[in-house]
Chain A
Amino acid sequence: MSYSHDIKNRQYLDILPVGICIISSNLEISMWNEKLENWTGINAESVLNESLSDVAPAFSDPLIMERLKMAFAGGGPVILSYRFHPHMFPFPLEHQNEGRYQRTTIIPFDLSDEETNAMIVVEDVSLITDQVQSYRRIQKLIVNELEERKRAEKSLAVANNKLNTLSAINRHDLQNLLMALDGYLTFSLQKNPNDDVRHYLDKMKKVTDVMKKQVQFTRDYQDMGIQAPEWFNVYDLAYSSLGGIAYRGVDLVCDTKQLKILADPLIQKAIYNLMENAVRHGVHTTRITISSDIRGDELILIIQDNGNGVPDNIKNRIFERGFGSNTGLGLFLTKEILAITGISILENGREGEGARFELHIPAGFYTE
């Protein structure tokens, strides 16, 4: 049981969840509450009138002593942080103090007609200190990871830049060679070759045209994934794409005036490809409709036309590289561009009723 010399209602101090000790101006202990008994294993009665520094040796530090004297001389409360004074009232066994932190406050007070006393309040702040240390460790890990990522991104940007430069040089050289080849084929055809030779020269010319288109494609898409994603208004994307399609008589109905999606800057080409496909492969397409729907966390952007639709037997292959009647890259690259910001695409229209593309946009990548 704790002993209180001066405080009548010392049981109030016993029920508090902090250690409390009261000392006189000559630094003798006059009160020692139950919590301190529990922590230190020192009985209250045994410390009455004992010197504080004898019972709690940390107080014999000249610096602490000087601050105690200053407090008694009118300097006000003293705060002993757990950074510099973690164990002012230590546990009896050394290992019990590991990972334990105390925050100590010394509050001088004058009772009427008596000398100045001081209440020493000790809080166990181990838990919050531990949490802060964990938080700091996590924060440091995140900072390191971010720095690592920045370094990797920088290296990647440099590598990409070099690859693009190399690619541009090769493309330029290839274009020159293709132009020469095309010229020679044209000259050859002008020399009135026999039918067999003309047949093969025509084929060679067609192959050359495809090669030119392929080279053109590599130029168009070389920047895919290089620029940071941006927000694009779907309505604007659709109308600007339609303007670029050299087909007349197609109505565009777009119900997504406010919808914005986060996408690679090449999204313009992706939308253009989808609309160009609707016109090219739909054959008699007269209307393209763009609408949206929320399903769970996702937003579904639907691009639908009233053309021929996609035959059932090729539905699963239209996004494959090399598949298609033109370059075989249009829908493949469209899928890749969309995937940069987590957007997936599928086609689920009915053959004969028109194509229907669904773009699945995850939460956080669209705003309405």
Chain B
Amino acid sequence: MYIPLIGQDGIREIITIGIGKSAGIISRLTNAHVYITVPDLYIIKSELNCPFYANLLDNVSLISMEFSGYLTGLINLIIPYESALNLVDLISGEEMDSVEMDVVRIDTLMETGNIIISCTMSALCNIIPSHLKYHLPLYRNDKKNVILIDLNQTEFKVTILVRIRFEIQDRMIEGDVIFLLTPSSFENLISCIVGIAGGDKA
């Protein structure tokens, strides 16, 4: 799969704008300084696996949302389980001894994830010609390898893996935003970026 440089740069820029916007909203929501950076971005045609993922038996929290239309795919926010607990506690200002993701915490994490996902999708939608249809976001936690197997079994074969880093109250929490797209959706996305940039796809 050939990806023009302008396409790769465009994807990075759009996602960085979306993620940056989400950091602003989370900061205002929580009255805390929240920074989210995008240290790494990979576009992968094959299945998600090493070297991107290690410690496959660790538990992770996953928020995912399916979409269809001009772009068809699945967007996922994956955060290591313990980091997700820390993130929720930092965001909600509640220091809990418990290591359990109860429904109150899940709800808080869902809103945080929803902000990141919505901002990113909104940034993408600014460059495509029509609105997308969305399913409601879903939460689950499971072992990393089980989630990766499930993601690899979807029909969406092009992956945009975005490493994100939250900085909240001097703490650093890392997670991944994973876009899974159908090959044709990915082509559509690249075409839009190239079209806006006024460049030649080749």
Contact surface of A with B, Cβ cutoff 8 Å: 63, 66-67, 70-71, 73-84, 103, 105, 107-108, 110, 116, 125, 128-129, 132-133, 135-136, 139-140, 143
A132-B108 in contact (CB<8A): no
**Best-surrounded residue of A83, A105, A128, A132 (most CB of chain B within 10 A):** A83
Known: A67-B25, A128-B103. A139 touches B98 (CB 8 A): yes
Interface flag for B170 (CB, 8 Å)? no
Say yes or no: A79-B110 contact (C-beta < 8 A), given A70-B118, A73-B125: yes
Given known pairs A71-B118, A135-B102, the reply for A66 and B25 (CB within 8 Å) is yes
**Residues in chain B within 8 A of chain A (CB atoms):** 25, 28-30, 65, 67, 92, 96-98, 100, 102-104, 107-108, 110-111, 114-115, 117-119, 121-122, 125-126, 131-134, 136-137
Pairwise interchain contact A77-B137, C-beta atoms closer than 8 A: yes
Residues of A close to B126: CB separation below 8 A: 73-74
CA distance in complex: A24, B65 (Å)? 23
A296 to chain B, nearest CB (A): 36
Contact A76-B132, Cβ < 8 Å, known A63-B25, A67-B118: yes
Please state if A76 and B65 are interface contacts (CB–CB under 8 Å): yes
Q: Is the CB of A83 within 8 A of B103?
A: no
Which of A74, A80, A105, A136 makes the CB contact (< 8 A) with B132?
A74
Q: What separation, in Å, do the CA atoms of A74 and B115 have in the docked complex?
A: 13
When distances are taken between beta carbons in the complex, the residues of chain B under 8 Å from A140 are 97-98
Q: B121 contacts A76, CB within 8 Å?
A: yes
CA distance A13 to B104 in the complex (A): 27
Evaluate contact between A78 and B25: CB separation under 8 angstroms.
Answer: no
Query: Which residue of B102, B111, B122, B136 is within 8 Å of A70 (Cβ)?
Result: B122
* A67 to B121 Cα, complex, angstroms: 12
Known: A136-B96, A139-B98. A80 touches B134 (CB 8 A): no
Which residue of B107, B117, B131, B132 has the most chain A CB atoms within 10 A of its CB atom? Answer: B107
Write the nearest CB–CB distance from B145 to chain A, whole angstroms.
28
| CB of A18, distance to nearest CB on chain B (Å) | 13
**Within the complex, which residue of B30, B96, B119 is in contact with A75, where a contact is CB–CB below 8 Å?**
B119
Assuming the contacts A75-B118, A76-B121, asked whether A81 and B136 have C-beta atoms less than 8 A apart, the reply is no
Q: Can you give 14 A-B contacts (C-beta < 8 A)?
A: A70-B119, A73-B122, A75-B125, A76-B122, A79-B110, A79-B137, A82-B104, A83-B104, A84-B30, A108-B131, A110-B131, A116-B131, A135-B102, A139-B97
Contact at B108–A81, with CB atoms within 8 Å?
A: yes
Task: List the B side residues contacting A116 at CB < 8 Å.
Answer: 131
Check A77/B97 contact, CB under 8 A, given A63-B28, A136-B102.
no
Provided the pairs A76-B65, A76-B118, A79-B114 are in contact, do residues A63 and B125 lie with their beta carbons within 8 angstroms?
A: no
Q: Check B67 against A76 for contact (C-beta < 8 Å).
A: yes
Query: How many angstroms between the C-alpha atoms of A82 and B109 in the bound complex?
Result: 11
